[in-house]
């Protein structure tokens, strides 16, 4: 496992999630994130493994790696790191995109008269108006992935766009920040309790608190090679702990079966 020393002059950035704050640092070209509520790092690493077995190009998701964090005072901590994917592009979250256009996602997302599909379509229509991008398929696939890993933190600041100020061109950022998934929050999902009970407690974001209703938005084809994923799980040298147990449980959920293809089917 990589060891990353946090320099004394490194700026500690407080990353706010729906569960509170998480410490992260920019060290060279790396973003280093510290576990705060449980095994967020292992969840990130396992999410990376899942995406490596998908049809997505590598540039479409951020890769996370395990690390031991050595703080300036010598204290040791567990976490993960990723390479900076932004380059010279400006990052704009979905929420900031709306704010830059003098509005907010709240009137749409909090409107109880709208169905999940209507909320999604209204948000996507606004995104297309603001950026020229039609990312409906990409976002619904992201929500399907979230349903698989039980990501409870896909709020509107965890959907990111990148803007090139020179070319004035927008693009959807790669999938990132999957730490609050796979029951990684041990404060809310106490170790030792049955997974079936704990999984029922997890709430989705941002269009509906139900993972199944957000999953229903995805109309695309299967995009995860289940056989390849199982093989990687068997041969991985990383100890994913309970995160792997949760994922294996999810792989047996018939409601998620349409996300998977067998290795040979992709060539049929």
CA–CA gap between residue 36 and residue 57 (Å, rounded) = 30
pLDDT digits (tens, 9 = 90+) for 139-178: 999 999 999 999 999 999 999 999 999 999 999 999 999 9
Q: How confident is the model at residue 251 (pLDDT cuts 50, 70, 90)?
A: very high
Report the mean per-residue pLDDT for the chain: 94
CB 178 within 8 A of CB 147: no
pLDDT digits (tens, 9 = 90+) for 75-127: 999 999 999 999 899 999 999 999 999 999 999 999 999 999 999 999 999 99
Q: How confident is the model at residue 15 (pLDDT cuts 50, 70, 90)?
A: low
Q: How confident is the model at residue 17 (pLDDT cuts 50, 70, 90)?
A: low
Q: How confident is the model at residue 264 (pLDDT cuts 50, 70, 90)?
A: very low
Query: What SS3 class is residue 144?
Result: helix
Q: Is the model more confident about 264 or about 42?
A: 42
Give me 231's structure tokens: 């093989």
10 Å Cβ neighbour count for 197? 9
Q: How far is CA 257 from the centre of its chain?
A: 20
Residue 262 has pLDDT above 80, yes or no: no
Closest CA to 97 of 119, 123, 77: 123
What's the mean pLDDT in 177-194? 96
pLDDT digits (tens, 9 = 90+) for 52-81: 999 999 999 999 999 999 999 999 999 999
pTM: predicted TM-score of the whole model, two decimal places: 0.94
Question: What pLDDT is attached to residue 16?
Answer: 58
Residue 260's φ and ψ, nearest 5 degrees, are: -110, 145
Percent of the chain at pLDDT exceeding 90: 88
The answer, yes or no, to whether the previous bond of 206 is cis (omega within 30 of 0) is: yes
CA–CA gap between residue 237 and residue 19 (Å, rounded) = 30
Residue 20 has pLDDT above 90, yes or no: no
């Amino acid at each position: 496992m990589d060891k990353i020393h946090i320099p004394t002059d490194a700026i500690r950035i407080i990353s706010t999630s729906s569960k509170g704050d998480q410490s992260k640092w920019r060290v060279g070209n790396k973003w280093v994130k510290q576990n705060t509520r449980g095994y967020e790092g292992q969840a990130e690493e396992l999410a990376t493994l899942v995406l490596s077995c998908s049809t997505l190009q590598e540039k479409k998701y951020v890769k996370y790696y395990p690390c031991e964090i050595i703080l300036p005072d010598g204290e040791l901590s567990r976490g993960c790191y990723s390479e900076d994917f932004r380059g010279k592009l400006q990052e704009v979250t979905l929420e900031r995109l709306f704010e830059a256009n003098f509005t907010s996602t709240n009137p749409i997302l909090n409107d109880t008269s709208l169905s999940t599909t209507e909320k999604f379509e209204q948000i996507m229509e606004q995104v297309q108006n603001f950026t020229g991008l039609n990312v409906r398929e990409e976002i619904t696939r992201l929500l399907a992935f979230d349903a698989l890993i039980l990501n409870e933190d896909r709020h509107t600041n965890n959907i990111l766009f990148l803007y090139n100020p020179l070319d004035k061109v927008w693009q959807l950022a790669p999938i990132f920040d999957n730490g609050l998934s796979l029951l990684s929050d041990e404060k809310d999902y106490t170790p030792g309790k049955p997974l079936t009970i704990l999984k029922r407690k997890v709430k989705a974001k941002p269009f509906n608190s139900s993972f199944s209703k957000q999953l229903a938005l995805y109309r695309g084809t299967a995009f995860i090679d289940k056989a390849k994923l199982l093989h990687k799980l068997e041969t991985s040298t990383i100890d994913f702990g309970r995160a792997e147990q949760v994922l294996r449980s999810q792989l047996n959920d018939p409601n998620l079966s349409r996300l998977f293809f067998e290795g040979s089917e992709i060539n049929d």
